Amino acid sequence: MLSEAETGALMAALTREPTLAVTVDLASQSIVCGELRFKFTIDPAHRTRLLNGWDDFDVTNSFREEIGKFKAANRTARPWATPS
């Protein structure tokens, strides 16, 4: 997230020169616009999702091994709860 001052500087630069390129680098968490350079922060979970192109299914699928272990342990601990 950029500060109010950084956002103002970015908007002022783009107002002066509307065709100025803006580069947002999510991996390095930086924004470059002409001579302006800013660092920003983003929630690590959101950053990972965006960098990997993951949706909710992909996030859940990334825990496939842990889910399998839980299911196996749950079948052993509560056999009556598993449909036959």
Note the pLDDT tens digit of each residue in 31-72. 999 999 999 999 999 999 999 999 999 999 999 999 999 999
What is the three-class DSSP state of 19?
coil
pTM of the predicted protein model: 0.68
| For residue 83, pLDDT beyond 90 | no
As a whole-number percent, the residues of the chain with pLDDT over 90 amount to 93
- Round to the nearest angstrom and report the end-to-end CA distance of the chain: 51
